[in-house]
């Protein structure tokens, strides 16, 4: 009926950061990114990589809100991907079924995605490892989703307690996933030099025998 809401709402064009900004954050440990953000920005601790050896990534978020037990919105992102994108999929924390498996992640990889992040579950672990795409989730279950919607693509979402918008830079490694909001990218990159220097200084002191932080010394 004409009164029915559309199954999939899409906001385009999708905002993306400058490639130089993505390059500046690539390879930076998530802990350093968090420190440059002021101590927060990481998704819920339960969102971890399926394979530790396939965990490092950095790229612009392409967001979707699939809702619980459905993955139409994830499929909707596939036609909007450009090389280097990270699909960030909200499920309202639903863990009763997987939101994707190896075939969908294979299509995402073919479309240029470099990682997949969700607050839900996934399935087909051997296949996901073979696809080679870093995949972060809260768990694994063989249960399958519907693909009926409704859902959104390109609109802001909340995943793992953190607001994410398309165009934010998402950084991942074995520790987890951090989101750098679009309007804070320049400030975070500028702050990284000081973070690196402080980390290097403390590491040298620890390796040299430091037993307690200087602020505890009397």
Q: How far is CA 84 from each of CA 9, 23, 81, 114, rounded to the nearest angstrom?
A: 23, 11, 8, 5
Give the CA count within 13 Å in the CB-facing half-sphere of 217.
5
Give the CA count within 13 Å in the CB-facing half-sphere of 151.
26
Task: Tell me the whole-structure pTM to 2 decimals.
Answer: 0.94
Nearest one of 43, 26, 29 to 84, comparing CA atoms: 26
Q: Whole-angstrom Cα distance, residue 47 to residue 89?
A: 12
Q: Residue 141 has which token pair?
A: 């279950």
Model pLDDT for residues 55-64, shown as the tens digit of each residue: 999 999 999 9
Q: Which fold has domain 8-209?
A: Glucose Oxidase; domain 1 (3.50.30)
Model pLDDT for residues 16-71, shown as the tens digit of each residue: 999 999 999 999 999 999 999 999 999 999 999 999 999 999 999 999 999 999 99
Helix/strand/coil for 111: coil
Residue 144 has pLDDT above 80, yes or no: yes
Q: Whole-angstrom Cα distance, residue 159 to residue 65?
A: 9
């Amino acid at each position: 009926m004409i009164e029915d809401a559309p199954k999939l709402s899409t906001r385009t064009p999708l905002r993306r950061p400058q490639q130089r900004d993505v390059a500046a954050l690539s390879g930076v440990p998530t802990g350093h990114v968090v420190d440059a953000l002021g101590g927060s920005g990481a998704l819920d601790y339960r969102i971890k990589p399926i394979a530790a050896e396939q965990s490092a990534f950095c790229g612009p978020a392409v967001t979707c809100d699939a809702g619980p037990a459905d993955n139409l919105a994830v499929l909707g992102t596939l036609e909007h991907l450009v090389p280097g994108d990270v699909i960030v999929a909200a499920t309202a924390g639903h863990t009763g079924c997987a939101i994707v498996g190896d075939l969908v992640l294979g299509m995402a990889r073919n479309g240029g995605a470099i990682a997949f992040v969700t607050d839900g579950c996934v399935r087909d672990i051997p296949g996901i490892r073979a696809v080679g795409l870093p995949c972060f989730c809260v768990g694994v279950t063989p249960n399958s989703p519907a693909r009926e919607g409704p859902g959104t693509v390109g609109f802001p979402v909340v995943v793992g307690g953190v607001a994410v918008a398309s165009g934010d830079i998402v950084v991942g490694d074995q520790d987890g996933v951090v989101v750098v909001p679009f309007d804070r990218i320049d400030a975070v990159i500028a702050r990284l030099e000081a973070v690196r220097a402080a980390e290097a200084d403390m590491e040298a002191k620890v390796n040299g025998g430091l037993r307690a932080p200087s602020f505890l010394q009397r």
